[in-house]
Amino acid sequence: MPDADRNAVADKDYGIGVPVANPAFPLKGANNYDWGMKDRLARIFDARSTRTVMLAFDHGYIMGPTSGLERIDLSILPIGDLADCLMCTRGALRACIPPTMNKPVALRCSAGSTVLTELNNEVIGVEIEDAIRLNASAMAAMVAIGSQFEALTIKNLCLLVETGNRYGIPTLGVCAVGKELTRDARYLGLACRVIAENGAQFVKTYFCEPDFEKVTAACPVPIIIAGGKKLPEKEALAMARKAIDQGAAGVDMGRNIFQAEAPRAMIKAVRAVVHDGLTPEAAFEMYKDLQAKS
Residues that bind ligand R5P (CB under 6 A): 56, 58-59, 87, 174, 226-228, 252-256
Nearest residue (CB) to ligand R5P, 38 versus 171 = 171
Least distance (Å) between residue 111 CB and ligand R5P: 11
Residue 174 near residue 201 (C-beta atoms within 8 A): no
The 3-state DSSP class for residue 223 equals strand
Nearest residue (CB) to ligand R5P, 147 versus 256 = 256
Q: Are strands 110-111 and 123-124 parallel, antiparallel or unpaired?
A: antiparallel
Least distance (Å) between residue 206 CB and ligand R5P: 8
Cβ neighbours of 221 (radius 10 Å): 23
Least distance (Å) between residue 153 CB and ligand R5P: 12
DSSP 158-184: HHHHHHHHHHT--EEEEEPP-TTS--S
Least distance (Å) between residue 239 CB and ligand R5P: 10
Nearest residue (CB) to ligand R5P, 36 versus 78 = 78
d(CA 184, CA 206): 9
Nearest residue (CB) to ligand R5P, 233 versus 252 = 252
d(CA 241, CA 229): 17
What is the CA 233 to chain-centroid distance, rounded? 21
Catalytic residue among 103, 179, 204, 288: 204
Rounded to a whole number of angstroms, the CA Rg of the chain reads 21
Three-state SS annotation for 84-97: CEEEECHHHHHHHC
Least distance (Å) between residue 22 CB and ligand R5P: 36
Least distance (Å) between residue 256 CB and ligand R5P: 6
Cβ neighbours of 260 (radius 10 Å): 24
In 195-218, which positions are buried (b, 16+ CB within 10 angstroms) versus exposed (e)?
bbebbbbbbbbbbbeeebebbbeb
226: alpha, beta or left, given left = phi > 0 and alpha = psi -120 to 50? beta
204 is catalytic: yes
Q: Name, in order, each residue with C-beta under 8 angstroms of 153's C-beta and a sequence gap of 6 or more.
A: 110, 120, 122, 141, 142, 143, 144, 145, 147, 176
Largest Cα span, the chain: 79
Nearest residue (CB) to ligand R5P, 37 versus 119 = 119
Nearest residue (CB) to ligand R5P, 227 versus 250 = 227
Active site residues: 204
